[in-house]
Amino acid sequence: METAIYIIVVLVGVGTFFGLVLALADKKFAMESNPLIAEVEDILPKGQCGACGFAGCAKYAEAVVEDPEVAPNLCVPGKAAVAAKVAELTGKKAEATEPHYAYLKCRGNLTAAVMAARYEGVPDCAAVRLVGGGPKGCKFGCLGFGNCVKACPFGALSMGEDGLPVVDKEICTGCGKCVETCPQGLMALKTFGAPVEVTCSSHDKGPAAKKACQNACIGCGLCMRNCSQGAIKVENFLAVVDSAKCAGCTEPTCLSKCPTKAIQSLVKAHAAQEKTA
């Protein structure tokens, strides 16, 4: 009989004790959250891309509301419209966001690039790269297994028939997920400005680069010598465009001078981007 009473006392006691403690703790440690955070989060595009530097849209909304140091224009995919709304809600000064879009620095498609080997394994760029740097003759080029396509939170990338990813510039928000993902470091974010860009990343010497891929930059320096703005330099057998110097150029002679067409015009891409901005 005594034991039965103890059982009831202990169980009821333990249950009540923890129940009360938890109830009290819930009151005492209640977190009040700012309703503004939810409002700001509603405006953000919810791609959870992390281009703002925070772990997802909710975190950025929290930071931009709570921390006066966090700028309202960090959401790259949201572009100017979202930045303006966030600034209005948080009472911060809106500064323009510069639109970006992703851009592939390789034109080594299936016809141009020479295959040195055949790869049969996990269809994943990072995995392919572990096997002797990939099947292509050029060890700098696009591996073509579409890690960037998988990484894109907005569905702006697709795998083209020529074995290279295609950026739909009207959908691309410039969040930069693909830039982080590409194991070859071939994706770059471009802004308006420079009308041309080098579409090759090969540091191979001229003959070797040409042998591996018809579209490769062979580091001949013709573009460098013909550039009226002095914006192109050849470093380590690869031409590099200084976009700041290149920006004002209206007649890019480099386009016609490049023997392998490794320098491409960005004018069309800019136009597409301007429509959506």
**196-198/157-159 β-pairing:** unpaired
Of 81, 266, 277, nearest in space to 170 by CA: 277
CB of 138 to another protein, least distance (A): 22
The minimum distance between CB 59 and another protein, in angstroms, equals: 9
Least separation in angstroms between CB 128 and another protein = 10
Residue 96 CB, shortest distance to another protein, in Å, is 32
d(CA 205, CA 219): 7
How far is the C-alpha of 147 from the C-alpha of 152, rounded, in Å?
9
Nearer to another protein, 26 or 161 (CB): 26
d(CA 43, CA 36): 11
Helical H runs in the chain?
A: 2-28, 35-43, 57-66, 79-90, 125-130, 147-151, 177-181, 206-212, 222-226, 243-246, 254-257, 267-276
DSSP letter at 204 equals S
Nearer to another protein, 148 or 227 (CB): 148
Question: CB-wise, 21 or 117, nearer to another protein?
Answer: 21
Task: Give the residue with the Cβ less far from another protein, 31 or 251.
Answer: 31
Q: Residue 84: CA atoms inside 13 Å, Cβ hemisphere, count?
A: 5
CA–CA gap between residue 1 and residue 9 (Å, rounded): 13
Cβ proximity to another protein: between 20 and 38 the closer is 20
- We find the least distance from the C-beta atom of residue 93 to another protein, in angstroms, to be 28
Which tokens in the block code for residue 37? 């955070």
Nearest approach in angstroms of CB 39 to another protein is 22
Q: Judged by CB, which is closer to another protein: 18, or 236?
A: 18
Looking at the Cβ atoms of 133 and 160, the one nearer to another protein is: 133
Question: In angstroms, what is the minimal distance from the CB of 127 to another protein?
Answer: 5
Q: How many Å apart are CA 101 and CA 191, to the nearest integer?
A: 7
Rule CB under 8 A: which residues touch another protein?
3, 6-7, 9-11, 14-15, 18-19, 21-22, 25-26, 29, 31, 121-122, 124, 126-127, 130
**Rounded to an integer, what distance in angstroms lies between the CA atom of residue 154 and that of residue 248?**
31
